[in-house]
């Protein structure tokens, strides 16, 4: 039996942020992660300046690709609205590995299946034992399924379905473009260059609305990629996009039971306007760590449910071009 005071299930941004904070507090913690890093993660990889602040680094200190945008091109029902802002894009393949390795926490490659409460702690797959358990396994987190699925009724209205493709190509524009509600899509599509010829394109929307419209996310993908090709933003349409589902912020979720916590997508906390989940994953991970260290309570419900005010605020901090 491997023992640790704290076990975190999942090494995505929520789990590794939590691990990093716990380690800084000098606590005994390990991560159980089903994949070996570096691993691909279906995600556009857009992050706000706040994420870097929370992780205590400047953009210059991030050791991998970090694309900086000083403007985002929004298209609302086809109307072009460029917004001045400061935002970033990372490759999750690199970002997640960097986060987990800087946490300096042992990572065991293990797919968690079964967890039972025993003697005031938790026993995982008859192999690992801990006092505190943190569920950071994303949408299908086993900690959520075993301890929280009865108290938290995830509503289908908050379910997002999204597909993306990240690939190397000669992309033709270095700026970020977002198309909202094109062709009846209940969500938005993105074109997000990452630097060094990496490009992420994708599309996401509310699952229930898509279903009732009779169109699939793939139908929208085909139209969207054709449009990118016609606008000469890409030269060829990439094959085999990858999909994933996750939940937007829902009110009053139970996020702690005894010494078990859930964080990030295991709760479902992406913002309801932009589907931004990395920030909430990092904040909830840090919050859970502080709660375990006895410094603060754990209340991720207090997080903002919107991204747009932050995007607009970030624009005010940029120096005008011709002062």
Closest separation between CB of residue 4 and ligand FAD, Å?
15
Closest separation between CB of residue 28 and ligand FAD, Å?
19
Of the two residues 294 and 301, which places its CB atom closer to ligand FAD in the complex?
Answer: 301
Strand 121-124 vs strand 115-118: parallel, antiparallel, or unpaired?
antiparallel
Closest separation between CB of residue 322 and ligand FAD, Å?
31
Closest separation between CB of residue 184 and ligand FAD, Å?
19
Of the two residues 129 and 321, which places its CB atom closer to ligand FAD in the complex?
Answer: 129
Of the two residues 6 and 43, which places its CB atom closer to ligand FAD in the complex?
Answer: 43
Binding region for ligand FAD (CB under 6 A):
9-15, 32-35, 41-46, 111-112, 136-138, 140-142, 162, 164, 202, 204, 244, 246, 264-265, 270, 275-279, 281
Distances (CA, A) of 305 to 190, 192, 277, 283, 302: 20, 23, 10, 13, 9
Q: What three-state secondary structure class fits 112? A: coil
Phi and psi torsions of 290, nearest 5°: -70, -35
Q: What three-state secondary structure class fits 253? A: coil
**DSSP character at residue 293:** T
Closest separation between CB of residue 320 and ligand FAD, Å?
27
Of the two residues 251 and 323, which places its CB atom closer to ligand FAD in the complex?
Answer: 251
Q: Largest Cα–Cα distance of the chain, in whole Å? A: 66
> What span, in angstroms and rounded, lies between the C-alpha atoms of 264 and 246?
10
Residue nearest to ligand FAD (CB): 277
Residues 6+ apart with CB under 8 A from 58: 52
Of the two residues 299 and 322, which places its CB atom closer to ligand FAD in the complex?
Answer: 299
């Amino acid at each position: 039996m491997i023992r640790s005071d704290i076990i975190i299930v999942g090494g995505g941004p929520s789990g590794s942020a939590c691990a990093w904070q716990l380690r800084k507090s000098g606590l005994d913690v390990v991560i159980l992660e089903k994949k070996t890093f570096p691993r691909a993660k279906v995600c556009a990889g857009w992050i706000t300046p706040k994420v870097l602040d929370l992780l205590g680094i400047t953009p210059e200190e991030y050791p991998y690709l970090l694309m900086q945008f000083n403007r985002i091109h929004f298209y609302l029902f086809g109307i072009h609205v460029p917004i001045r802002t400061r935002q970033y894009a990372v490759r999750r393949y690199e970002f997640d590995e960097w986060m987990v390795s800087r946490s300096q926490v042992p990572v065991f490659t293990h797919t968690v299946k079964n967890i039972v409460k025993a003697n005031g702690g938790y026993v995982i797959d008859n192999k690992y034992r801990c006092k505190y358990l943190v569920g950071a396994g994303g949408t299908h987190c086993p900690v959520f399924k075993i301890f929280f699925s009865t108290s938290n009724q995830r509503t289908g209205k908050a379910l997002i379905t999204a597909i993306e493709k990240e690939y190397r190509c000669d992309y033709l524009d270095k700026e970020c473009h977002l198309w909202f509600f094109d062709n009846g899509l209940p969500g938005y599509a993105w074109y997000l260059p990452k630097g060094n010829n990496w490009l992420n394109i994708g599309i996401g929307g509310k699952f229930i609305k898509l279903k009732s419209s009779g169109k699939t996310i793939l139908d929208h993908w085909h139209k969207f990629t054709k449009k990118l090709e016609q606008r000469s933003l890409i030269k060829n349409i990439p094959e085999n996009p990858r999909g994933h589902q996750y939940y937007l912020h829902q009110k009053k979720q139970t996020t702690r039971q005894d010494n078990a916590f859930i964080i990030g997508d295991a709760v479902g906390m992406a913002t309801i306007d932009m589907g931004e989940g990395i920030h909430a994953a990092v904040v909830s991970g840090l919050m859970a760590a502080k709660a375990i260290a006895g410094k603060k309570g754990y209340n991720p419900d207090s997080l903002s449910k919107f991204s747009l005010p932050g995007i607009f605020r970030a624009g005010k901090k940029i120096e005008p071009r011709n002062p």
